[in-house]
Amino acid sequence: MIAWLLTHAASTRFAVVAGVFAVLLVLQLRMPRRGDHSAPGRYVRNLSLPLISAAIVYLLLPLTLVGLATLLAERQLGLFNLLDWPPLIELAITIIVFDLAIYWQHRAMHELPWLWRLHRLHHTDLDFELTLGLRFHPFEILFSLLCKALVIAALGAAPLAVLCCEILLAAFALFSHADIRIAKRWDQVLRRFVITPDWHRVHHSVHRAETDSNYGNLLSIWDRLFGSATEQPRDGHLGMRLGLDEFRDEASQRLRGMLMQPFLDATTPTGKNDKPHA
C-alpha cells in the first residue's frame, strides 16, 4: 500500500486535496461567515494560478519533494536516515519542523522587500474565501518548494512523511482561507492548537499591524511563541476590509496583473517603495 502511494504520490495528493476542497466548498456555500463570494471570473483567475505554477514546476524542477526524499533515503543522507527512530516519531517531528519552517518563511516574505514582491499577490485579493488558499504567484511556489527541499534534506525525511506533510499543509491552507462560520466556542478551542479561518482572516486585513501577524499555516503556537499573534481584528470580522489599498484597481485583479506582481513598483503598506512590509 505504501509503495503504491509513493509511486502515485502526485495523483494521491491531488485527489485528497481536491476532496478537501470539495467538502470546504460545500460548507462555504451552506454556512458562510461573511459571504465573500465575488464574480466567477475571480474564481477562474485564482484557480488558474496553481495550474500555471504546476506547469512551471514540472518544467524547471527535476524532482518532486517526495522524489527528493526517496533519493535521500536510497543514499542514506539526512538526520533520520542516520537514526533508527520509530516512523511515527519521525512523522511527528517532520510535520512540526515543516510547519515551523513555513512560519518563518511566511514571516520573511513580509519582512524582506524582494520576498514581499513574490508574496504580495496573495494579499491583493479583496475577498476571503476558499480559492484565496490557492492564490500564490508561481515564483513564490518555486521559492517555497526550495525551502521545503532544504528541510527535507536536513531531516532526511521519509518519503511517506513528506507526502503526509504536503497533503496536511495543503489542506490547512484551504481550510484557513475558507469562508466558513464556526461557532465561537469551537473556534476558541480549535485556535489554541491550529489555524482557523477567523484566526487567519486577520492576516489579510488592510491594517498593517494585523497583516503582519498570524503567519502560521497549521499550528497556532508559533505566532504565540514568537510574538506575532493577533486574536481579533480591530474592525470585527464582518466589518474589516481586506486586501492592499494600492492594488484595488481592476487591472491588478486580472490574471495578467496578478502574474506581473513581482515586477511592479508600488508603494507597499509601509509607505515606502519596495521596503519590507513589516
- Give me the pLDDT at residue 1, please: 79
**Does the pLDDT value for residue 85 go beyond 60?**
yes
**Does the pLDDT value for residue 37 go beyond 70?**
yes
Handedness of CA 167, 205, 101, 197 (dihedral sign): negative
- Give me the pLDDT at residue 38, please: 73
- Give me the pLDDT at residue 7, please: 87
Mean pLDDT of 6-11: 89
**Does the pLDDT value for residue 230 go beyond 90?**
yes
pTM: 0.92
**Rg, C-alpha atoms of the chain:** 19
223 or 264, which is more confident? 223
**Does the pLDDT value for residue 80 go beyond 60?**
yes
What residues have CB less than 8 Å from 132, skipping those under 6 apart? 46, 122, 125, 177, 204
Compute the mean pLDDT over every residue in the chain, rounded to the nearest whole number: 93
Q: How confident is the model at residue 266 (pLDDT cuts 50, 70, 90)?
A: low
Please give the Cα distance from 158 to 19 (Å, whole number).
24
Provide the 8-state DSSP code for 262.
G
**What percent of the chain has pLDDT above 90?**
89
Q: How confident is the model at residue 270 (pLDDT cuts 50, 70, 90)?
A: very low
- Give me the pLDDT at residue 278, please: 39
Angle 195-210-239 (CA atoms, 0-180°, nearest 5)?
90
Classify residue 94 as exposed, middle or buried by CB count within 10 Å of its CB (0-12, 13-18, 19+): buried
Please give the Cα distance from 210 to 107 (Å, whole number).
13
**Does the pLDDT value for residue 274 go beyond 70?**
no
Please give the Cα distance from 201 to 187 (Å, whole number).
13
Mean pLDDT of 80-87: 93
- Give me the pLDDT at residue 39, please: 76
Mean pLDDT of 31-59: 92
Q: How confident is the model at residue 275 (pLDDT cuts 50, 70, 90)?
A: very low
Q: Tens digit of pLDDT for each residue in 190-219? A: 999 999 999 999 999 999 999 999 999 999
Mean pLDDT of 123-148: 97
**Does the pLDDT value for residue 82 go beyond 50?**
yes
- Give me the pLDDT at residue 271, please: 35
Q: Tens digit of pLDDT for each residue in 244-260? A: 999 999 999 999 999 99
Q: Tens digit of pLDDT for each residue in 53-71? A: 999 999 999 899 999 999 9
